[in-house]
């Protein structure tokens, strides 16, 4: 009997060593804090982005991000569309309509990136395999439901934003490279001379 118990103990220890539990239990607030800290620590990020809207439309492209508040998305679908910000201005260029919107930004309004968008939500976290899922719910916000899928190091893999009416989008990142040495000049957009410029379109009521 003693030998059997010893064998069972040995098997248990060996299994724990070879097949460790992928993620410990973590509260929603702890997971959200870890996610914010991870994303805020990144100086730059680049990769492929896919945006799927609740309407069914799909957009894909290459993105670059540099802290604080600089990003550019060059879309391959729809081809030629560009969304760019240097932290002071936001450009949205659509070659199909030959229109470029240019929005003056409030200083620091984009400095927090996605981590800065997540205040005031109730968080619930769970783990599956090596990934974490963080579900956020909030009232009185544009997006009442935000779902985050992050890897074991809390690097963003996928995020969805939905309103109370179920309208929104899902953003998936792939081929991501962090801190790859981007420079600020990448986030200046030269508006094509042939297009119509609309200034501060978000201010129009």
The whole-angstrom separation of Cα 198 and Cα 137 is: 35
- Span 6-36, pLDDT tens digits: 333 333 333 333 333 344 578 999 999 999 9
Q: What is the pLDDT of residue 204?
A: 60
Q: Please state whether beta strands 168-178 and 89-94 pair in parallel, antiparallel, or not at all (unpaired).
A: unpaired
**How many domains are contained in the chain?**
1
User: 19 lies in a domain?
Assistant: no
User: 179 lies in a domain?
Assistant: yes
Q: What is the pLDDT of residue 176?
A: 95
CATH number of the domain bearing residue 170 = 2.50.20.10
Q: What is the pLDDT of residue 22?
A: 42
> How confident is the model over 102-116, as a mean pLDDT?
75
User: 39 lies in a domain?
Assistant: yes
User: 4 lies in a domain?
Assistant: no
The whole-angstrom separation of Cα 125 and Cα 152 is: 13
User: 47 lies in a domain?
Assistant: yes
Question: Is residue 116 classed as helix, strand or coil in its secondary structure?
Answer: helix
* pTM exceeding 0.85: no
CB 174 within 8 Å of CB 50: yes
The whole-angstrom separation of Cα 103 and Cα 164 is: 27
Range(s) of the domain holding residue 181: 26-203
- Span 155-189, pLDDT tens digits: 999 999 999 999 999 999 999 999 988 999 999 99
User: 63 lies in a domain?
Assistant: yes
């Amino acid at each position: 009997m003693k030998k059997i118990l010893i064998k069972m103990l040995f098997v248990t220890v060996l299994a724990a060593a070879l097949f460790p539990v992928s993620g410990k239990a973590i509260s929603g607030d702890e997971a959200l804090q870890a996610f914010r800290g991870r994303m805020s620590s990144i100086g730059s990020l680049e990769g492929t982005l896919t945006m799927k809207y609740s309407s069914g439309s799909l957009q894909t492209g290459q993105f670059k991000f540099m802290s604080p508040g600089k990003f550019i998305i060059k879309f391959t679908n729809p081809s030629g569309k560009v969304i760019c910000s240097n932290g002071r201005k936001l450009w949205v260029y659509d070659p199909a309509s030959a229109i470029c919107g240019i929005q003056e930004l409030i200083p620091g309004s984009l400095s927090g990136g996605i981590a800065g968008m997540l205040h005031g939500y109730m968080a619930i976290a769970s783990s599956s395999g090596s990934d974490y899922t963080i579900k956020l719910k909030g009232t009185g916000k544009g997006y009442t439901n935000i779902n985050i899928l992050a890897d074991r190091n809390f690097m963003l893999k996928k995020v969805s934003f939905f309103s109370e009416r179920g309208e929104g989008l899902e953003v998936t990142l792939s081929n991501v490279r962090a801190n790859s040495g981007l420079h600020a000049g990448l986030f200046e957009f030269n508006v094509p001379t042939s297009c119509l410029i609309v200034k501060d379109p978000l201010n129009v009521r």
